[in-house]
Amino acid sequence: MPKIASRPVVLTIAGSDSGGGAGVQADLKTFAAFGVHGASAIACLTAQNPRRVLAIESCSPSMLRRQIEAVFEELHPAAVKTGMLFSSENLQVVAGFFRAWVARPPVSLIVDPVMVSTSGAKLLKPVAIKVLKEQLLPRATLVTPNLQEAEVLTGEKIASVENMRAATREIHARFGCAVLVKGGHLRRMRKAVDIFFDGRTELLLTAPFIKGIRTHGTGCTYSAAIAAALALGRDLPQAVALAKNYITQAIARSYRVERHAVLNHLGRTND
């Protein structure tokens, strides 16, 4: 009988994207590209395509909890990433689960806060943001806000790389987790700049802008890649740097579906 190889498990707790470009669908494709086993817990359903979101419907908190429990019961994830949790009730479910799991084997928790969309639309109500800050972020290994989300977390305007550096330190001081502030939409920049800080190590991560390509799902994919790299044994700075390279490649190798550019999650090259 041939020997069956073992693979680590990574769980995504996020929303479903019916268009296949973001959310759980993007996460699972990213996990496959990294060679880890992807599991999922659906926090909400979205009716969306690459152009717009038509509707969002939350999963019930009890069903979300049972999905997470089912995965942990038999699959024991090495890393977990959260994406669009949508409601304060679902945020409480996730935070409560990891609060109860504190005495068990350690699990890396990557939180993509999904508070503000790329277009600037708010995706979490104030009460849910309060739960995120008070209950989930203190349990995170890493939080990965975009510029608008980092502004919500710090209460400060971010208009430069130095503002981004200050934001990473402020978020780390407030919540105790490592921080990756994504600056892809910082104006008047020649490169896409992200800043990582974990209390000791600071990384300035840069990549050239890929002109003429507009995609969605980059934030989901970036955080999923970090979680996958951690599950494979990379330390956090290494995982973030590897994920930055991966998302840059995924954008550069995007393919077209009808008139829309879509991230190429499975076009990963060797490290």
Which active-site residues does the annotation give?
A: 182, 215, 217-220
Contact assessment for residue 203 and residue 196, using Cβ atoms and an 8 Å cutoff? yes
The full DSSP string for 81-107 is EE----SHHHHHHHHHHHHHGGGSS--
Give φ, ψ of 191 to 5 degrees. -130, 160
Residues near 35 by Cβ (< 8 Å), separated by ≥ 6? 7, 232
Report the chain's terminal Cα–Cα distance, integer Å.
32
* Alpha helices (H) in the chain, listed in sequence order: 23-34, 61-74, 88-100, 126-131, 147-154, 161-175, 218-231, 236-252
Contact assessment for residue 69 and residue 42, using Cβ atoms and an 8 Å cutoff? no
